[in-house]
């Protein structure tokens, strides 16, 4: 009888241990290609379901539509990336965990012109560069160093940025 009780307790413990084991979704290394306008070959204009399938480690997904904040998107807040799918742009912050094919985050403002030419639009703390796929907007901190990058398939005339970026 004691052996039966011990066996039952062991089996119950093993079942509950299995229930606690979950596999985290892995995106692998996130690579931003500012020349092609994508992250791991996912463009800002990609369908949200395609993004979630290719990059399953998202922290939040919000359906597109007028009732959602900023038109919806797929967010990777623990990796410093946000896809705004209805507005067709991606925000990469200084919290980004991954790599750039051409380093932009951390670049000095003066180093942008030799690599990307004259910006199409600019202000005191940001510049927008025309790219083959659309635009790249870079934001500068108080030390004139890039601390946020936005890539979009839209033009400077068509893009509508969310105020909560």
Domain annotation covers residue 91:
yes
pLDDT given at position 57? 94
pLDDT given at position 70? 86
Domain annotation covers residue 6:
no
Query: In 10 A of CB 68, how many CB atoms?
Result: 13
Closest alpha carbon to 71 in 55, 83, 57: 83
Domain annotation covers residue 157:
no
Q: H or E segment at 52?
A: helix 48-54
Interatomic CA distance for residues 160 and 103, integer angstroms:
25
pLDDT given at position 67? 76
Per residue in 141-155, pLDDT tens?
999 999 999 999 999
Domain annotation covers residue 57:
yes
Domain annotation covers residue 11:
no
pLDDT given at position 23? 67
Domain annotation covers residue 7:
no
The structure's pTM equals 0.83
Overall number of domains in the chain? 1
> Over the chain (165 residues), what is each successive 10-residue block's mean pLDDT?
55 53 80 96 96 95 83 94 95 95 95 95 95 97 97 94 77
Interatomic CA distance for residues 18 and 129, integer angstroms:
51
Query: In 10 A of CB 156, how many CB atoms?
Result: 15
Domain annotation covers residue 121:
yes
Domain annotation covers residue 5:
no
- Domain of residue 110, residue span: 26-152
């Amino acid at each position: 009888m004691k052996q039966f009780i011990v066996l039952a307790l062991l089996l119950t413990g093993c079942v509950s241990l299995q229930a606690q084991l979950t596999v985290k979704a892995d995106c692998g290394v996130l690579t931003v290609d500012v020349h092609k306008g994508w992250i791991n070959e996912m463009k800002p204009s990609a369908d949200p379901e395609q993004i979630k399938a290719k990059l399953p480690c998202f922290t939040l997904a919000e359906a597109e539509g007028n009732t959602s904040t900023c038109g919806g998107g797929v967010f990777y807040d623990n990796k410093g990336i946000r896809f705004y799918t209805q507005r067709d742009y991606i925000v990469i912050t200084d919290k980004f965990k991954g790599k750039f094919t051409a380093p932009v985050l951390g670049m000095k403002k003066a180093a942008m012109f030799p690599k990307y030419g004259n910006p199409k639009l600019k202000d005191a703390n940001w510049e927008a560069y025309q790219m083959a796929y659309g635009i790249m907007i870079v934001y500068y901190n108080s030390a004139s160093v890039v601390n946020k990058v936005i890539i979009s398939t839209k033009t400077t005339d068509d893009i509508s940025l969310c105020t909560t970026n």
